[in-house]
Amino acid sequence: MTTSMTDNWPETLSYDAFLKEIQVSKNALYRSLYLQFVDEFSVKNQRIAVEKLALIFKATFRLANTQGFQAMTLRQLAKETGLSMGGLYAYIHSKDHLADLIYAFLNFFCSESFIKLEDLDQPPEQKLKTIIFSHIYLSEFMQPWFYFAYMESKNLSRNHKKNAIEAELITEDKISDVISLGIKKAVFKNIDATMFAALIKAMMQDWYLKRWKYQRRKISVDAFAQQVMEVVNDHLSARENIA
Amino acid sequence: MTTSMTDNWPETLSYDAFLKEIQVSKNALYRSLYLQFVDEFSVKNQRIAVEKLALIFKATFRLANTQGFQAMTLRQLAKETGLSMGGLYAYIHSKDHLADLIYAFLNFFCSESFIKLEDLDQPPEQKLKTIIFSHIYLSEFMQPWFYFAYMESKNLSRNHKKNAIEAELITEDKISDVISLGIKKAVFKNIDATMFAALIKAMMQDWYLKRWKYQRRKISVDAFAQQVMEVVNDHLSARENIA
DNA sequence: GTCTATAGCATGATAGAC
DNA sequence: GTCTATCATGCTATAGAC
């Protein structure tokens, strides 16, 4: 299942190594999207469709980012992509359908990636590190997608809300489980695993939610992940505090 | 300046003590709002105006929370408050004005509160604790306001965006400064203060951004603040890690 | 595969009665 | 102080030409 695993992941944790590991370039992202949902598009020429889909999604993220998805009009989207209103409807059936596609593909892509990255045989300390680094790196690779999913879910259908909440809790459960295991094996201090997992999640999410801040300060994704890891390690380190 | 400071704040940090300290009950909030912006409302009867303003803002938060401010229509708001479209316009000049009022009052109220709570003579450890606890407690007291400000700012005018970013950075600078001071005085470990301040902020913000999660898990605001504080202390504790 | 033109409807805002 | 009625605008979505 993990035969594609390179030798240096996750021992050498870096964004570059991560990109090699998931084996998807940014260019190939929209081809993957097109192939995943071919049936839903009336445009059958792959080259054209992939190109136009890239335009549409990138413009959607740009507009939703500056005014919100609900406030974005399809006229704006048409103008921003260079398509006409009619042309747009060859790719999306409705504005809601566009949101559906975003959530569905994000979900599909993340699941795929985690399968590639997961390694069940690692000890808790290493496994925790893998989860934290891969989540941050994935959120860097798909930043506009993560940001959109976070900021817009509350405004969309009940189904999208449920999906977003579930995604939130799944990551947290994975972190919480591995912390609990570490506590049981006495490699971590005895803390509230559920609670700390929530705080770790909050720190990780800051990377894609406040990207402007970190870019302005010239913090690299590698440096950020390292900082989060140090905070986590300090809180988990087995030495009990003697108040 | 701080003559109103009770004896037990911030030595005894609890949400109840905090509420006594800021001296504003939830009922008095909308009276304070009315008095702050009297000139802007055409309704001159205070009792009626305060009552209606409470209805309008609470309904706005409810609707913005489930579908977004931009997607909320004034017809919905009228229905939710029991007012007519015309009646609504006696309190707000436009939909934008409603957003203006929310940001202006939040800003005013937070500034007031921090003046009441700040104590410059504390040592760094105590000061950091005061800042962290008061920010979390304030965000609990004004939760819908904080949530609105965070989620909607990107969708609103450039001015609101700027305000939100500044508020974000002011808190962070306060935290960063006090950490730097503690490092200089050698009561804290020598870490990257700016970076850690950002992560602390992210953890604190989780309280009002994921309120559903913490409510479901029956975590009190006091317990949450305590957990954040422990993570912070573990990372700052002067013992240097011998890697 | 993409365009123009337009149907059909909901919106923010206001005027004027009570 | 609040209401009803109405206006101009701008929206999503589709039909049909090319």
Q: Which residues contact A16 (CB under 8 A, 6 or more apart)?
A: none
- B213, A168: Cβ pair inside 8 Å? yes
Instruction: Please name the fold of domain B15-236.
Output: Tetracycline Repressor; domain 2 (1.10.357)
CA of B49: nucleotide with nearest C1'? D1
Tokens at residue A86, please? 């009619």
Which residues have Cβ atoms closer than 7 angstroms to strand C?
Answer: A 42-45, 48-49, 52, 82-87, 89-90; B 72-76, 85-86, 89, 93-96
Q: Which phi and psi angles does B24 have, rounded to 5°?
A: -135, 120
Cβ pair A221, A137 in contact under 8 A: yes
How far does B128 lie from chain A, in Å, by closest CA? 17
Q: How far apart are CA A154 and CA A164, in angstroms?
A: 9
Q: What is the DSSP letter of B241?
A: P
B222 touches chain A (CB under 8 A): no
A42 contact to strand D (CB, 7 A limit):
no
Q: How far apart are CA B43 and CA B90, in angstroms?
A: 6
Q: Which residues contact A108 (CB under 8 A, 6 or more apart)?
A: A36
Of A73-87, A123-137, A227-241, the least confident: A227-241
pTM: 0.95
Q: How far apart are CA B20 and CA B3, in angstroms?
A: 14
pLDDT value at residue A64: 98
- Identify the burial level of A131 via C-beta atoms within 10 angstroms of its C-beta, where 0-12 means exposed, 13-18 middle and 19 or more buried: buried
Of residues A9 and A216, the one with the higher pLDDT is: A216
Residue B237 three-state SS: strand
* Long-range residue pairs from A158-165, CB within 8 A, at least 24 positions apart, any chain: A160/A99, A160/A100, A160/A103, A163/A103, A163/A107, A164/A103, A165/B212
Q: Which phi and psi angles does B186 have, rounded to 5°?
A: 65, 25
Q: How confident is the model at residue A12 (pLDDT cuts 50, 70, 90)?
A: confident
C-alpha neighbours within 13 Å on the C-beta side of residue B148: 26
Cβ pair B88, B78 in contact under 8 A: yes
Q: Nucleotide D14: nearest residue by CA–C1'?
A: A86
Low-confidence ranges of chain B (pLDDT < 70): 1-8, 10-11, 238-243
Rounded mean pLDDT, A211-239: 95
Q: Which residues contact B201 (CB under 8 A, 6 or more apart)?
A: A206, B168, B171, B172, B175
Query: pLDDT tens digits, residue range A94-153?
Result: 999 999 999 999 999 999 999 988 877 899 999 999 999 999 999 999 999 999 999 999
Query: pLDDT tens digits, residue range A33-63?
Result: 999 999 999 999 999 999 999 999 999 999 9
pLDDT value at residue B158: 85
Of residues A242 and A10, the one with the higher pLDDT is: A10
A226 touches chain B (CB under 8 A): no
Answer yes or no: is pLDDT of A188 > 50: yes
Rounded mean pLDDT, A203-231: 98
pLDDT value at residue A7: 56
Tokens at residue B199, please? 């992560």
Which residue of chain A is at minimal alpha-carbon distance from B206?
A202
Cβ pair B19, B12 in contact under 8 A: no
- B70, A65: Cβ pair inside 8 Å? no
- The per-residue DSSP string of chain A comes to --TT--TTTTTS--HHHHHHHHT--TTTHHHHHHHHTGGG-S---HHHHHHHHHHHHHHHHHHHHHH-TTT--HHHHHHHHT--HHHHTTT-SSHHHHHHHHHHHHHHHHHHHHHHH--TTS-HHHHHHHHHHHHHHHHHHTHHHHHHHHHHGGGS-HHHHHHHHHHHHHHHHHHHHHHHHHHHTTSB----HHHHHHHHHHHHHHHHHSHHHHHHTT--HHHHHHHHHHHHHHHHBSSPP--
